[in-house]
């Protein structure tokens, strides 16, 4: 499982118990009335 937090300015994704199977390419998507954005990241858990 994972935990999403948002303090009104910053969004954070926490993976408390990361496993090797959680590794891979993840995409962050954000949107609001001003527009939208995406960012790909590679997560590596060893």
Q: Tell me what pLDDT residue 13 has.
A: 84
pLDDT digits (tens, 9 = 90+) for 12-43: 888 888 889 989 999 999 999 999 999 999 99
Q: Tell me what pLDDT residue 9 has.
A: 92
Rounded-to-integer distance, Cα 46 and Cα 14, Å: 16
Are the C-beta atoms of 45 and 20 separated by less than 8 Å? Answer: yes
Q: In which domain, by residue range, is 37 found? A: 3-43
Q: Tell me what pLDDT residue 21 has.
A: 92
Q: Tell me what pLDDT residue 1 has.
A: 78
Strands (E), the chain: 3-6, 11-14, 24-32, 35-43
Long-range contacts of 40-43, Cβ-Cβ distance < 8 Å, separation of 24 or more? 43/15, 43/18
Q: Tell me what pLDDT residue 2 has.
A: 86
Q: Tell me what pLDDT residue 46 has.
A: 84
How many domains does the structure of the chain reveal? 1
């Amino acid at each position: 499982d994972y935990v999403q937090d948002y303090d009104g300015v910053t969004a954070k994704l926490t993976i408390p118990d990361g496993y090797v199977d959680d590794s891979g390419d993840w995409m962050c998507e954000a949107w609001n009335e001003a527009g939208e954005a995406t960012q790909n990241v590679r997560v590596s858990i060893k």
